[in-house]
Structure 1
Amino acid sequence: MVERKVKLVPYTTEETLDTITEVPEGIQMVQAPSLWNEGVKGKRVVIAVLDTGCDIHHPDLKGQIIGGRNFTTDDNRDPKRVTDYNGHGTHVAGTIAAKENNRGVIGVAPEAKLLILKVLGTDPNNSKSATGRYEWIINAIHYAIKQKVDIISMSLGGPSHHPGLHDAIKKAVNENILVVCAAGNEGDGNEQTNEFTYPGAYNEVISVGAVSARREASLFTNSNNEVDLVAPGEKIRSTIPDGKYASLSGTSMATPHVSGALALLKQETKEQFERTLSEPELYAQLIKRTVPLGNAKTLEGNGLLYLTTPNILSRYVRSQQTTPWFLKL
């Protein structure tokens, strides 16, 4: 029997802060500021965030959200209420697109817009967790398609393949929507064993693993041949409800770095090529902006997201099979 429950990709809370002013370390690691300096900040790109909802009044997110819809049973199923009772969705949203306001944090794509789709509701058995049904996620994906979003970001997962979920994702990709998913946090530290979380294990999605600030594969990150690339996923500082901030760890935190990066690349390539690139073309542009870290391909896929990596440097690093000096601490 197919498991009908989907949960948050597990994550760890490292610290909670009332105030902060910084460009988070993970965003510096992926070199997002270098594109900001060129005027590329994700303008006119819309990312659908399928998660626990969002604090739409957070100072760093106010004005970044163009709409939302609740697909869960929270708040008596009110479709207009996307209140985040967990904090996970607000944290993900901040990493993607927290605005530039000289306080708090800033996201990878500070001029991108967010469509908040709440697909994970309160878990009656665990106040720190959130659960949802595959049907809620499927309905949200179809809604995102109708809204003509550019990117779908999902930091969630379930243990089983679900044909309806897979079909919805394939439909989104066929509509040239990039679908980014967490690889999962069931890793056992053995690169030769496979751990799968769905939808992250589907070939059609961009599956994101996690690394530490030292560019080492996180002990919790899943290993399998569907991992496309890795991004910072440990002690990531971002927004949480009530105007606060927290450092969280997990592939849930790595995923929004890639979703935000794709918003930057979509704007940059549209200006460069004077047309909107297709989903496969944008995926290729993303993979060009990775550098290998020396981990097994099952752990890091094509390597670490690094937005300023020229093709020639990427080829050189691969030929040398070593970590370039600028990635070392």
Structure 2
Amino acid sequence: MTLALPARRTLVAALTLAVVSGSAPASALPLGAVPFGTGLAEGPTGTWIVQTDPGTAQDVIDDLRGLGLGTSHEFDEVMEGFSLEATDAQIRALADLDDVLRVEAAVPTAISSSSETTTQRRPTWGLDRIDQVGLPLDGGFTYASSAGAGVRVYVVDTGVDPTHPDFTGRVTAGYSAIGDGVGADDCHGHGTHVAGSAASATYGVAKGATIVPVRVLGCDGRGDSSHVVAGANWILANHPAGTPGVVNMSLGGGVSSSMARAVDALTGAGLLVVAAAGNANGDACLTSPARVPAALTVGATASTDARSSFSNWGTCVDGFAPGSAITSTYPGGRYATMSGTSMAAPHAAGMAALLLQREPSLRPAALTERMLSAAHPVVADPGPGSPDVLLTTVQATPTPTAEPEPDPSADEPAPDEPAPAPGELPSAPEGLAATSVTSTSVTVAWGEPSAGADNVVGYRVQSGPAVGTWTAETVVPATARAHTLTGLTPATDVVVVVSALGPLEHAAAGEPITVRTSSLVAPGGPQTPRLTAVTTATLRVAWSPPAATADAASITGYTVQRSVDGRSWRTVTTTPARSATLTRLEAGTQHHVRVRANSAAGSSPWVAAGSAVTRARPSAPRSVRQVSRTPSSVSLTWAAPATSGDRVTDYRVEYSTNGRTWTRFRDPVTAARGVTVDALRPRTTYRVRITAIADGVTVGRSAQTTVRTSGARPSSAR
């Protein structure tokens, strides 16, 4: 989503107008409350990329911070601007600023791998394939011992494990746009595998290149376009002048003009961007960065030179490279086999590094032309609009004629251990069934194949209106046993089939099932949510049920969440009631609360109940003193706590003779500041302490005070 920008105003004016346009009267909106006012900060937040006029980004950022909004990333190379988390209302107000050129919603990005890893490791055929014109393979990959030396390969991905023995001394300090404390290391595995195909000592094309990790995807393999832009911005700011380099992006998401500007900026700086075409068996022009003309977009082939079944195609594809069942490096000093255009792209990036090592002055356009001139028309079924182009190294050798075909692994460097045999290929998954159905989603579950289960590398879930007419396709890990289809139409049949994926493009499809989505729809949001009964440690929220509609499913309960910053939410309770009490809250702290209604057809949007500040915690009682005594009692008084003393509901009185063992004096619950403690021993010294109680919680304890009972009255003479 990119917002068109009309005539613009100042920040305060824009935000104030957005607030006033909500339900509250303008007079009820003090300026200091603008960032969290009605109709502005309420509702879900998203990540947005903002481009400003040259030289104005810092002024806009300073204004935002003054109004309670911060930035996620700040850009000065790809563009002038920043990214931030904001609601739709906040971002529309921001779009009205005089200094804002463009506002774009960040699109989700993820790794472009068609399957997760498997523990079965097979020697790669990809290196063997790229140094010759055609099949059969000749059993070797010829390269210079310094291949790629002096060239930087930027791996824009999930990070790279710098300790892998195949990278020794060649992984330099990188960058992370993911603020989870992991840094540029790889907690997923995808980035290390990609880096290995490009430049590892065992399975890499450019075995002497320097690897620079640029982490833009999290431990789950996901991120968004703002992370990619931040990564590109870092590369532009830190790439050494005069050093040849290539940028590998084995990732993809929806169409994003911000990612296009990032690719163009990198290209303009002399860095070729190699992009994975994507794994949806669809048009690569529908994804970014694959669709960007300046990028070298790479599809995947199998060992037969046929386009991989998952590989995207189309006019945005520039060429193909090996991408099915590719063995490469994996975190922890291991090796793994993965499939995807993510594996094809680093083969091409490595080829680019080989050329740049020999001719460092090649610009991206000339480098692309040189690579395509060494390609060959051998790809079977490249797909509609795709070029029949298999990328190879410039030193391509003629097709071998010797028979029989040599062993593909004859000259392949071996991993640390012998690779196991392929084993039994998996049969189809069993027991496919729908486990949850709503008006817009279906969850299906299945069991593992009866044969070859140990060799499953993933499961492909396809759905559509009829068998063979698949409109959606997803590959899930080998450990998955369920998947949820979303975005469906109510009261509609959907056909689902699940296939077990094995090595070398193997796929075994199970029996399809037909599921009908519910005709009922999710309810609307709860009405008039409100916060009441605020104490030092509790809040009470109440609401009315959603407005009734004929096609809304019956409500099964409500979910309540709270947040201290309005961004990170925690579920407090799910209840059938229309109220809830939030307990164990921190005193003197602002708490945001939201509620949604749940049903068998799905959940309503979140509805904000507002925010409230819990009462400040009272301090300790003061000035405890003894005012009178008898042989068996002492009378005490004290002053209320200096802070929030009026909120004290009771005082607890304790006494001790040694300061270690304390006895509580049982008296009625009262806020009175005096008491007579009885049942004491005569002529005895005691230590006393007073504890304040507020809202049922201990909040402050006085210092100890020493008191003493008097002596016993002498008896009369007889």
TM-score range relative to shorter protein: 0.7 to 0.9
Partner of 1:220: 310
Q: Distance in 2 between matches of 1:11 and 1:57?
A: 26
Matched AA of 1:212: A
Matched AA of 1:133: D
The answer to whether the aligner puts 1:162 opposite 2:256 as a matched pair is: yes
Query: Could you tell me which of 338, 349, 354 is aligned with 1:264?
Result: 354
Query: Could you tell me which of 218, 221, 232 is aligned with 1:141?
Result: 232
Q: Distance in 1 between matches of 2:284 and 2:173?
A: 37
Q: Deviations over 1:245-295 (max 9, x none)?
A: 11100000001000011000112234xxxxx12211111111011001253
Q: How far 1:180 moved relative to its partner? A: 0.4
Partner of 2:482: none
Q: For the structure 1 residues 309 and 295, does the alpha-carbon distance in structure 2 shift closer, same or farther, using more than 3 Å as the test?
A: farther
Partner of 2:173: 67
Q: Provide the secondary structure at the position in 1 that maps to 2:359.
A: helix
Q: Distance in 2 between matches of 1:167 and 1:195?
A: 16
Q: Provide the secondary structure at the position in 2 that maps to 1:44.
A: coil
- C-alpha contact 1:50 1:153 (8 A) present in aligned 2: yes
Q: Distance in 2 between matches of 1:299 and 1:34?
A: 31
Q: Distance in 2 between matches of 1:53 and 1:65?
A: 11
Query: Could you tell me which of 349, 367, 371 is aligned with 1:286?
Result: 371
Q: Distance in 2 between matches of 1:292 and 1:36?
A: 23
Partner of 1:113: 210
Q: Provide the secondary structure at the position in 1 that maps to 2:196.
A: helix
Partner of 2:119: 16
- C-alpha contact 1:218 1:234 (8 A) present in aligned 2: yes
Q: Provide the secondary structure at the position in 2 that maps to 1:290.
A: coil
Q: Distance in 1 between matches of 2:389 and 2:297?
A: 12
The answer to whether the aligner puts 1:173 opposite 2:270 as a matched pair is: no
Q: How far 1:132 moved relative to its partner? A: 0.7
Partner of 2:126: 26
Q: Distance in 1 between matches of 2:333 and 2:253?
A: 30
The answer to whether the aligner puts 1:89 opposite 2:191 as a matched pair is: yes
Segments ≥4 residues shifted beyond 3 Å = 32-35, 294-300, 308-311
- C-alpha contact 1:65 1:115 (8 A) present in aligned 2: yes
Q: How far 1:43 moved relative to its partner? A: 1.0
Query: Could you tell me which of 244, 264, 270 is aligned with 2:334?
Result: 244
Q: How far 1:195 moved relative to its partner? A: 6.0
Q: How far 1:308 moved relative to its partner? A: 4.1
Q: Provide the secondary structure at the position in 2 that maps to 1:267.
A: helix
Partner of 2:219: 122
Q: Distance in 1 between matches of 2:385 and 2:391?
A: 14
- C-alpha contact 2:216 2:223 (8 A) present in aligned 1: yes
Q: Provide the secondary structure at the position in 1 that maps to 2:175.
A: strand
- C-alpha contact 1:142 1:168 (8 A) present in aligned 2: yes
Partner of 1:320: none
Q: How far 1:194 moved relative to its partner? A: 6.3
Partner of 1:255: 345
Q: Which structure 2 residue ranges, 5 or more long, are not aligned?
A: 2-104, 133-139, 406-718
Q: Deviations over 1:120-147 (max 9, x none)?
A: 0133xxxxxx211211110111111222
Q: Distance in 2 between matches of 1:195 and 1:168?
A: 17
Q: Provide the secondary structure at the position in 2 that maps to 1:238.
A: strand
Q: For the structure 1 residues 6 and 25, does the alpha-carbon distance in structure 2 shift closer, same or farther, using more than 3 Å as the test?
A: same
Q: For the structure 1 residues 299 and 107, does the alpha-carbon distance in structure 2 shift closer, same or farther, using more than 3 Å as the test?
A: farther
Give the RMSD, CA atoms, in angstroms. Answer: 2.6
- C-alpha contact 2:192 2:331 (8 A) present in aligned 1: yes
Q: For the structure 1 residues 122 and 263, does the alpha-carbon distance in structure 2 shift closer, same or farther, using more than 3 Å as the test?
A: same
Partner of 2:509: none
Matched AA of 1:97: A
TM-score (norm 2): 0.38
Q: Distance in 2 between matches of 1:279 and 1:304?
A: 19
Q: How far 1:70 moved relative to its partner? A: 1.1
| Residue correspondence of structure 1 range 296-315 to structure 2 within 5 A | 296=382, 298=384, 300-308=386-394
Q: How far 1:96 moved relative to its partner? A: 0.8
Q: For the structure 1 residues 240 and 310, does the alpha-carbon distance in structure 2 shift closer, same or farther, using more than 3 Å as the test?
A: closer
Higher strand fraction (1 or 2): 2
Q: Distance in 2 between matches of 1:299 and 1:244?
A: 38
Q: Distance in 2 between matches of 1:298 and 1:63?
A: 43
Q: Provide the secondary structure at the position in 2 that maps to 1:260.
A: helix
Q: For the structure 1 residues 299 and 213, does the alpha-carbon distance in structure 2 shift closer, same or farther, using more than 3 Å as the test?
A: farther
Matched AA of 1:120: L
Q: Which structure 1 residue ranges, 5 or more long, are not aligned?
A: 100-104, 124-129, 271-275, 314-323
Q: How far 1:175 moved relative to its partner? A: 1.1
- C-alpha contact 1:209 1:299 (8 A) present in aligned 2: no
Q: Deviations over 1:5-51 (max 9, x none)?
A: 11111321463258x8x6x31011111976514x5500100011010
How many residue pairs match? The answer is 288
- C-alpha contact 2:153 2:210 (8 A) present in aligned 1: yes
- C-alpha contact 1:71 1:140 (8 A) present in aligned 2: yes
- C-alpha contact 2:284 2:290 (8 A) present in aligned 1: no
Q: How far 1:303 moved relative to its partner? A: 0.7
Q: Distance in 1 between matches of 2:284 and 2:204?
A: 32
Q: How far 1:296 moved relative to its partner? A: 4.2
Q: How far 1:309 moved relative to its partner? A: 6.2
Q: Provide the secondary structure at the position in 1 that maps to 2:192.
A: helix
TM-score (norm 1): 0.80
Q: Distance in 2 between matches of 1:74 and 1:114?
A: 22
Which deviates further from its counterpart, 239-248 or 295-304?
295-304
- C-alpha contact 1:35 1:264 (8 A) present in aligned 2: no
Q: Distance in 2 between matches of 1:72 and 1:173?
A: 24
Q: Provide the secondary structure at the position in 2 that maps to 1:303.
A: coil
